[in-house]
Structure 1
Amino acid sequence: MAVPVETFFLSQNTQGTLQARIQQMVAEGILSGRFRNGEKLPSTRQLAKHLGVSRITVTLAYTELQANDYLVSRGRSGYFVSENAPQPPNFGPLAPSEDKVDWDQALARRYLPERPLGAAKPTDWASYRFPFIYGQADAKLFDHANWRLCAMQALGAKDFTALTQDQFDMDDSELVTFIARHSLPRRGIIAGPDEILITMGAQNALWLAAQLLGQKRKVAVEDPCYPELRSLLRQVGAQISPVPVDEEGLPPENIPKGSQVIFTTPSHQCPTSSTLPRHRREALLKRAAELDAIIVEDDYEFEMSFLSPPSPALKSLDEDGRVVYVGSFSKSLFPGLRLGYLVGSAEFIREARALRASVLRHPPGHIQRTAAYFLSLGHYDALIRRIGVALTERRQAMETAIDQYGLEIAGKGAHGGSSLWMQAPADIDTHIFAQNLRDKGVLIEPGEAFFAGPSKPRNYYRLGYSSIPSERIPEGIARISEALAQMNQQG
């Protein structure tokens, strides 16, 4: 690797001749660790031109550094940092500087959620033998080869000009067309290009919806629900009304009077996995009409309906244009993709597009075009079928092991999904339970953060099975059962 010439600057405070100052500049770069053994330095001609000095001055400085074993010359290849150059000193951890800013006064608003994103998923989760965590993909199932080919195709001459231009607030036309013609009709939704907006995943879509619809308004949310949703709504000063769900999901009759926005996950309730039946969907639309409220439908995992076909989306029953639909490819392709979409009335999408443009213009064009090719060439459907087969096998292994070891399922979903909502005995704190399990190589997700209010139940937890092989599931469930028994005995 070559050291960029732009990183070299002569300090005005350095004493001595130009040659000595150049020597000191290079030596300090090596001693500080910025220039590493084996890295190539700029040629004498490049550095002389950059610094505005004569080439002979740089040559003499390099020669002196070579004599002191800081540099080595390799014929016509140039000068390199010597393998025998002095090593940077190890000072250990540096003492922290004193922060004299009163951040309580300096910050106009705080955005830290009640729990950090990914709190239940350590960065080294893949090193655990039994990772029952939600939202992580199994890399072995993904079609790397065809994704790579689609990425290369997106970089071809045919597409490159469009990808390198600033598209302002516009999205990739091929991706929008695929969503309109293939993805949405599978959910019973008909929408035109002016009613679709590409987002940086479902999280970004929910943020846009919260910003546009929830500012200082009365908002009804499911309880339990996706924890980050409450954080997004608090940021905009929404008056949040948690509505407890039951085995069929959100009860429309319990939505408080005065609610102006309703956030819901009808097809796959988060985190209980219950599915809102048809009669409740119709009742929810009727209740929203009575309240003149907008519904935000988060359809985050409909592709994972491998047990039975998914129910039509709530948006497909909407005749008033009051449902805003949130979809995502991040769950079905891979979490790091961060690609989702919003579907709603054209006027709403125009405002969402303008807001998105003020923050990030649009998601990267290359990612959009690569996804468009992957989807349109049939690779996506093949991937979903492969994932469905794998999740079916893992789901069967989960239910068999859970039944064998006497654990209690609180919600598992009739259509599929990639997790089970579990309930421990009432006196079990699943935060402590999860920590005990980590020492046994098992990861679970405590459920407290999904609930609202001061008296949150602490005995729920979620078991994901998207990233754990089937053959490991029985032993992992056995360890969970064993740890639970030990906690019961100690309690």
Structure 2
Amino acid sequence: MAISVETFFLNPDAQGTLQAQIQEMIAAGILSGRFRAEEKLPSSRKLAAHLGVSRITVTLAYTELVANDYLTARGRSGFFVSGTAPVPPSFSPTEKGQETVDWAGTITRQFTGGDTPRKPKDWRSYRYPFIYGQADATLFDHANWRLCALRALGQKDFAAMTGDYFDQDDPLLIEYIARHTLPRRGIIARPEEILITLGAQNALWIVVQLLLQQGRKAAIEDPSYYTLRDQLGHTGCALDVIGVDSDGLPPEQIAADTDVIFTTPSHQSPTTATMPMARRKALLSRAKEIDAIVVEDDYEFEMSFRAPPSPALKSIDSDGRVIYLGSFSKSLFPGLRLGYLVGSEPFIRQARALRANVLRHPPGHIQRTVAYFLSLGHYDAQIRRMARVLQERRAVLEEAISSHGLIPANRSLYGGSSLWMQAPAHVDMGRAAEDLRANSVIIEPGAPFFSTETRRHNFYRLGYSSIASERIPQGVAHVAEAIRNARP
């Protein structure tokens, strides 16, 4: 039996080359059971004319499917579904009965809820996306990333791509971090003191699991990264929420019974405050005095386009009590999900074991691709390019907010990719954010960054990493209008 050419069509929104789309279309038909063994495919000429593509494209797709045993070629007779092609499983679905499990009582911990907000998936379709932490495709070095990825997929790197490191990491990436990335932050570390993670969020989770439980106390900044607060809530530990000022976390307010201190000294999240050196030393002194561990999230230090970043807190740590978190996810692209932990060897040993029990290790070919991107100089070039563009956008944004009388709650001395803003006390920026979407504007309400006890609704964040400079003034005008029109 011949398969009708009318059953084939190309999805206009599909990704990949035409050849790949045709291969996928035919393979999907076979795997779903629509195309059966020994059925004849339309001729390459007929299918090409029907799809509006070149005949060679169809021929190459057919040839690749023959090589993968989906099709078989028979002389002048044409192409047929192979008799040994994969077949869909044969089963008879049973009717679903009434569930009787009490999941509310069976699940021992609830991980839904919390303060972590969801950003709109279609944010790129908005005209004024003042969204934080998303990649701007115009700034990313696609060409060199692709070359590094192809190199990582090559035969020479077959072991790195396919091997099971168990609890280890790509030695090439570890070496680059140890010899180049960390020394720029004033940190000297051996490979045994470095662990690759699935981004900073995964690194924080590992730290929280190892250091905190019921009966222990953590000190966090307020406002702070909402996901950290959610993670700490699952441990049952006591939580001491400490308000930050223009210099970050005040060490004198840390209680004597604190076990772990979480801080973002280089670029406080979300206020963008930078902790001066005198306070960094005071923080370490207080931690030593009360025998607490300090977790330093070196958040966005790469985006210091106004002045060189201060040395990391860990660089002045003389007794190994600072655990350092770094990430490539923000500086490259969020979907990369690659970061690293640096700490004393006994801590990293346990962190490595915990990670191995959960996910073994981040994918080897991703680690090797990043290692090449770093070692060949592409990363540094991209950071310089991003810094120039962000500096330009920052200048346009500051001029726009000044002309409309908007109020920055803090101004980062070093740069970054966002501004922390404050509206009049009566304004609920959560409601304003909802109203602004009608004008194709996205902003980030500030309330989720604050703890429940200190929640402030009149703060918001304006990110400028993903909005073109020429669109900033009009976007800010919409924000200013929404704030003026806000009702108590």
> Is TM (by shorter chain) over 0.5?
yes
1:321–1:344 Cα contact (<8 Å) kept: yes
Write the letter of the residue equivalent to 2:168: M
Q: Which residue of 2 aligns with 1:59?
A: none
Q: 1:148 is matched with which residue: 146, 151, 157? A: 146
2:115–2:230 Cα contact (<8 Å) kept: no
Q: Which residue of 2 aligns with 1:187?
A: 185
2:108 corresponds to 1:108: yes
Q: CA deviation at 1:162?
A: 3.1
SS of the residue corresponding to residue 204 of structure 1 reads helix
2:451 corresponds to 1:452: yes
Equivalence map 1:180-259=2 (5 Å) = 180-216=178-214, 217-259=216-258
1:412–1:419 Cα contact (<8 Å) kept: no
Q: Which residue of 2 aligns with 1:428?
A: 427
Q: Which residue of 1 aligns with 2:382?
A: 383
Q: CA deviation at 1:155?
A: 1.2
* Cα distance between partner residues in 2 of 1:455 and 1:293: 25
Q: Which residue of 2 aligns with 1:43?
A: 38
Q: CA deviation at 1:113?
A: 4.2
1:41–1:78 Cα contact (<8 Å) kept: no
- Paired residues in the alignment total 413
* Cα distance between partner residues in 2 of 1:459 and 1:243: 19
* Cα distance between partner residues in 2 of 1:97 and 1:321: 57
Q: CA deviation at 1:34?
A: 4.4
Q: Which residue of 1 aligns with 2:298?
A: 299
SS of the residue corresponding to residue 453 of structure 2 reads coil
Larger Rg: 1
* Cα distance between partner residues in 2 of 1:371 and 1:342: 16
Q: CA deviation at 1:484?
A: 1.2
Q: CA deviation at 1:255?
A: 0.6
Equivalence map 1:411-422=2 (5 Å) = 411-422=410-421
1:129–1:442 Cα contact (<8 Å) kept: yes
2:480 corresponds to 1:485: no
Equivalence map 1:50-449=2 (5 Å) = 75-78=77-80, 99-116=99-116, 118-119=117-118, 121-216=119-214, 217-449=216-448
* Cα distance between partner residues in 1 of 2:476 and 2:39: 65
Structure 1 stretch 155-164 or stretch 401-410: which is displaced more? Answer: 155-164
TM-score, normalised to structure 1's length?
A: 0.81
Deviations 1:110-167 (A, max 9, x none): 1124134x52x10000000000011001011000000000011111111112321111
Write the letter of the residue equivalent to 1:405: H
Q: CA deviation at 1:433?
A: 0.6
Write the letter of the residue equivalent to 1:453: T
SS of the residue corresponding to residue 131 of structure 2 reads coil
* Cα distance between partner residues in 2 of 1:263 and 1:213: 12
Q: CA deviation at 1:288?
A: 0.2
Write the letter of the residue equivalent to 2:467: I
Runs of 4+ in 1 over 6 A off after TM superposition: none
Q: CA deviation at 1:44?
A: 7.2
TM-score, normalised to structure 2's length?
A: 0.82
2:182–2:188 Cα contact (<8 Å) kept: yes
Q: CA deviation at 1:103?
A: 2.0
SS of the residue corresponding to residue 473 of structure 2 reads helix
* Cα distance between partner residues in 2 of 1:230 and 1:152: 39
Deviations 1:287-306 (A, max 9, x none): 00011000000002110111
SS of the residue corresponding to residue 237 of structure 1 reads coil
SS of the residue corresponding to residue 222 of structure 1 reads strand
1:169–1:356 Cα contact (<8 Å) kept: yes
2:268–2:299 Cα contact (<8 Å) kept: no
1:113–1:228 Cα contact (<8 Å) kept: no
Q: CA deviation at 1:97?
A: 8.1
Deviations 1:185-207 (A, max 9, x none): 01000000000000000000000
Q: CA deviation at 1:43?
A: 3.2
Q: List alignment gaps of at least 5 residues for structure 1.
A: 4-28, 46-72, 81-95
Aligned identity (percent) is: 60
SS of the residue corresponding to residue 452 of structure 2 reads coil
SS of the residue corresponding to residue 176 of structure 2 reads helix
Q: CA deviation at 1:345?
A: 0.3
* Cα distance between partner residues in 1 of 2:453 and 2:103: 27
1:261–1:295 Cα contact (<8 Å) kept: yes
* Cα distance between partner residues in 2 of 1:316 and 1:79: 64
* Cα distance between partner residues in 2 of 1:375 and 1:99: 52
SS of the residue corresponding to residue 167 of structure 1 reads coil
* Cα distance between partner residues in 1 of 2:254 and 2:159: 50
Write the letter of the residue equivalent to 2:362: P
* Cα distance between partner residues in 2 of 1:309 and 1:250: 21
